[in-house]
Structure 1
Amino acid sequence: MPSIIAVSQAVIDKGGSHMSRLQIDYPASLPAVLNVSAAEFEQEARMALAVKLFECGRLTSGQAAALVKLPRARFLLECPRWGVASVQWDEEELASEFLGLDQRSES
C-alpha cells in the first residue's frame, strides 16, 4: 500500500498573495472506489479539512470558506451536510439570546 505523504511548499497565487500548498498522495484507485472523479475527491478532501478546522475552532467560517474557495454563506450552508453546526454558541450566548423570551410568551 502506498504511503501518504504531506509536503508543504510556498507558492504565489494569481493575485500575488503568498500561499502555502499542502500535497497529499493517495492511491489512484481511491476516487473510483468512492465512485467520484479525482477532482470531486480532492474538493471533498479540502472541504473535510476546512469543516473540521472550523468545528475545532481553529478557523473562522470565513477562513474555512476561503480555504475551499466558497462564499462564506455557502460554506455555512454546507456544514450540516458534514454533521457540523453552522453556528456554535456556548450556553451563555444561548441564554442571552433567549433572555426574556419566557416573559413575552406569557403576556
Structure 2
Amino acid sequence: MSLQLTIEYPDTFPDALGRTREQFEQEAKWAMAVKLYELRRLSSGMAAALLGCDRVTFLLKLAEYDVPVIDLTEEELRSDMATA
C-alpha cells in the first residue's frame, strides 16, 4: 500500500525561485528526503525509495546539500575501528 503527502504552497513560489512547478516540487521532495536522512529518521535506502531513485544516486547527491554520507561521532568512529 502506498500513501501520498500533499503540501500546499503559494503559486508564486516556483517563479520566485526561478523554477518550473515540476522542478520546485522535485527539489522540495529531495530537500525533505535529505533532511529526514540527516536527522537519521530515514536510511539512505528508504530516502532513495521515497524519491524513486537508486541508493547510490541519493548518496552522491548529498554533497549538494552539504550533508555527509557518513556522520559518525568520534566515539562511534573509535568503536568501529576497534571492532574492524
TM-score range, shorter chain: 0.7 to 0.9
Structure 1 residue ranges without an equivalent (≥5): 1-17, 100-107
Structure 2 residue 72 is matched with structure 1 residue 89: yes
More strand by share: 1
Instruction: Name which one, 1 or 2, has greater alpha-carbon Rg.
Output: 1
Report how many aligned residue pairs link the two structures. Answer: 82
- Write out the 4+ residue segments of structure 1 that deviate beyond 4 Å after TM superposition: 96-99
Structure 2 residue ranges without an equivalent (≥5): none
TM-score (norm 2): 0.87
> How far off its partner does 1:87 sit?
1.3
More helix by share: 2
| Local SS of the residue matching 1:77 | helix
| AA matched with 1:55 | E
Q: Distance in 1 between matches of 2:46 and 2:81?
A: 29
TM-score (norm 1): 0.70
Structure 2 residue 33 is matched with structure 1 residue 50: yes
Deviations 1:27-54 (A, max 9, x none): 1111011001101100100101100100
